[in-house]
């Protein structure tokens, strides 16, 4: 039971708190949000980290992929989410991370300018970026400039046209090895967090065990430090075929607030993801 008086200010989570949670084996519950209403609702439900994902291209803008999403759109939605958190009367606890859209991080100079916009104009505390061969170099440049950074590994949706679709990554030994090496290099270059998307459970576990920073998974099995889902997916609001790792938490809840609270509880207890929401060893 909390000993804090009901009206005392809430302590905002920091990167160091995520390290402490990882060391204690406390799972980190993360969710996307794109506007002030959901930011407030997710903060109230105990979500540890909100990502303003470039998935907004698909769930907000109705695009087929995240590729066309622009920097201005990312800054706009990050500001909306930050405003929701800033409006919390007792302050907010949830940490705010925002995505670098496709090619906004093509060179170190572009990446520094654009990450700076997400922090300074948007109010984010960390940026997340996908891949390409220069991912390590870009992470190093951001880290050298004091910009907190999360590196996205596994399925990188911005690479969809190169990959030929949204597919599980790292199933064969060569690819798994390359991903393990890349994860090590990214952490050595200064990544503060890793995000692993659509990889077998064993690979998620191996990367997490070898990592010295928190690892968040989406379709990466249960043995990572935390979980993330696109909020529209976990509310069953996304049309079409749903990915294997998605669970509809609204189906068993009376309200959106209850569904998000149930998601947080399921991540914390280890009930989510269950075996059927993973891609096997």
Which of 29, 42, 48, 55 forms a contact with ligand KIV (CB under 6 A)? 55
85 and 94 in contact (C-beta within 8 Å)? yes
Asked if 230 interacts with ligand KIV (CB under 6 A), we say yes
Q: Which of 51-59, 81-89, 103-111, 112-120 is the region at the interface with ligand KIV (rule: CB under 6 A)? A: 51-59
Asked if 48 interacts with ligand KIV (CB under 6 A), we say no
x-marked contacts with ligand KIV along 169-208 as a string, rule CB under 6 A = --------------------------x-x-----------
Q: Which is nearer to ligand KIV, 42 or 54 (CB)?
A: 54
List 197, 252, 276, 281, catalytic entry? 197
User: 173 an active-site residue?
Assistant: no
Block residue for tokens 């891609």: 279
Phi, psi of 197 (to 5 degrees): -120, 130
Q: Which is nearer to ligand KIV, 105 or 197 (CB)?
A: 197
Q: Which is nearer to ligand KIV, 9 or 119 (CB)?
A: 119
x-marked contacts with ligand KIV along 21-40 as a string, rule CB under 6 A = -----------x--------
Asked if 224 interacts with ligand KIV (CB under 6 A), we say no
- Report the site for ligand KIV in 68-127 (rule: CB under 6 A): 99
| Biggest CA pair distance of the chain | 54
CB of 30 to ligand KIV, least distance (A): 8
C-beta pairs of 61-67 under 8 Å, 24+ apart in sequence = 65/157, 65/158, 65/160, 65/161, 66/101, 66/102, 66/157, 66/158, 66/160, 67/102, 67/158, 67/160, 67/161
User: Would you tell me which residues interact with ligand KIV (CB under 6 A)?
Assistant: 32, 51, 53-55, 99, 195, 197, 218, 228, 230
Residues annotated as catalytic are 197
């Amino acid at each position: 039971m909390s000993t804090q008086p009901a009206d005392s200010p809430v302590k905002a989570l920091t990167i160091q708190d995520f390290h402490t949670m990882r060391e204690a084996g406390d799972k980190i519950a993360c969710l996307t949000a794109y506007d002030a209403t959901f930011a407030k609702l997710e903060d109230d439900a105990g979500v540890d980290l909100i990502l303003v994902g470039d998935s907004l291209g698909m769930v907000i803008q109705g695009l087929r992929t995240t590729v066309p999403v622009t920097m201005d759109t990312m800054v706009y939605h990050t500001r909306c989410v930050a405003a929701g958190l800033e409006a919390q009367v007792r302050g907010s606890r949830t940490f705010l991370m925002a995505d670098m859209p496709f090619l906004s991080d093509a060179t170190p100079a572009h990446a520094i300018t654009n990450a700076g916009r997400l922090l300074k104009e948007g109010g984010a505390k960390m940026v997340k970026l996908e891949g390409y061969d220069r991912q390590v170099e870009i992470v190093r440049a951001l880290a050298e400039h004091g910009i907190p950074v999360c590196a996205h590994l596994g399925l990188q949706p911005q690479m969809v046209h190169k990959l030929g679709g949204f597919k599980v990554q790292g199933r064969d030994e060569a690819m798994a090895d390359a991903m393990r090496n890349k994860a090590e290099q990214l952490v050595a270059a200064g990544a503060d967090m890793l995000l692993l998307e659509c990889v077998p459970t064993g690979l998620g576990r191996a990367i997490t065990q070898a990592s010295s920073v928190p690892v968040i998974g989406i379709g990466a099995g249960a043995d990572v430090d935390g979980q993330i889902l696109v909020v529209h997916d976990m509310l069953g609001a996304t049309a079409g075929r749903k990915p294997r790792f998605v669970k509809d938490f609204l189906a068993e809840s009376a309200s959106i607030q209850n569904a998000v609270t149930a998601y947080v509880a399921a991540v914390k207890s280890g009930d989510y993801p269950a075996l059927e929401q993973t891609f096997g060893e």
